[in-house]
Structure 1
Amino acid sequence: MLAPRHIQCPYCGERIEILVDASAGDQRYIEDCQVCCRPISIDVWIDADDYAHVSASGEDDA
């Protein structure tokens, strides 16, 4: 079950669309920005209603 989600690149600020596999549960992975090609850390968590929430951060973010 792939769900489209929009995130903002922490480097270039562009809004990009990613596809999240909501059936895989909570996840953390790296995906390159489609505009500036820098690595974005993607955190995905699934709520009680099976909605996939996404957070994006850069390498320098703590």
Structure 2
Amino acid sequence: MLLKSSFSCPYCWLEILMLVDTSIKKQSYIEDCEVCCNPIEIIVQFNNS
């Protein structure tokens, strides 16, 4: 299942929308901001609850 999520870029403060795959319990990757192009480390973890 995909979950819509949003967060603010720590560099330019733009709100970034993304889809996260909830079937992968632990995720970690680097995503560039769409506006300022700075790298952002994304870490997502889902619990079974």
| Cross-structure match for 2:45 | 45
Q: Could you tell me whether the CA contact under 8 Å between 2:28 and 2:44 is conserved in 1?
A: yes
Which stretches in structure 2 are left out of the alignment for 5+ residues?
A: none
Q: Post-superposition shift, 1:48?
A: 2.5
Identity within the alignment, %: 49
Q: Normalization by structure 2: what TM-score?
A: 0.84
| Runs ≥4 residues deviating over 4 A | none
Which stretches in structure 1 are left out of the alignment for 5+ residues?
A: 50-62
| Cross-structure match for 1:31 | 31
Q: Post-superposition shift, 1:32?
A: 1.0
Q: Normalization by structure 1: what TM-score?
A: 0.69
Aligned letter for 1:38? N
Q: Post-superposition shift, 1:4?
A: 1.0
**How large is the RMSD of aligned CA atoms in angstroms?**
1.1
